[in-house]
Amino acid sequence: MADKSIFEHVRDMLNKTVPGTRRKPKTAAAKDAPAKPNAPLGPVDGRAKAPDLQAEMHKRDAEIRAAVAKATADEKAALIKQQAELAEVRRKYEAELARQAAKHVETEATTYTIVRGDTLSGIAKRFLGNAARWPEIHAANKAQIPNANLIYPGQVITIPPR
């Protein structure tokens, strides 16, 4: 898991098929596509709503528990293993959220956790009032963002003062 963020690991875990069920994993393309061709993507600012991973993990846990009740002996072993993996992923996810929250509290500067669909210019427009000020955000976060075109959900960046 060293090369994956905990958020990617949670996503992969939630997309695994539950043994003994007909549930198929969602593909990234199907999950990201709007239901209707011209349907709005999300809230007013155009970003898609971030999934509630805690709720999704609890839902998956309930699915696995229900499948265990109906499973054969061979399927039960696989389900119990998947349930243990899910519990471990949930523990690591919650620890990462706690770490990020502590980091937000420790810093006096404004911090922001990047979500899917964000760009440095969009963040600059929202926090600094001008999209053209994105280089200031990039300069303040050079260690985390070596390439301004590559930012990832879950990264915590510092927003320079207005």
Alpha helices, H only, the chain? 6-14, 28-32, 53-70, 73-106, 120-128, 134-140
Q: Do 134 and 146 have their domain in common?
A: yes
pLDDT score recorded for residue 25: 52
Q: Do 89 and 139 have their domain in common?
A: no
Mean pLDDT for each consecutive 10-residue tract of the chain (162 residues)? 72 79 52 44 46 83 88 86 90 87 73 92 94 95 92 91 76
In-domain check, residue 72: yes
The answer for residues whose C-beta is within 8 angstroms of residue 104's C-beta and 6 or more apart is 111, 156
Element (H, E) at 111: strand 110-113
Q: Say what the pTM is.
A: 0.50
- Total domain count for the chain? 2
From 51, 56, 113, 66, select the one nearest 90 (Cα to Cα): 56
From 52, 63, 58, select the one nearest 24 (Cα to Cα): 63
Q: Do 11 and 63 have their domain in common?
A: yes
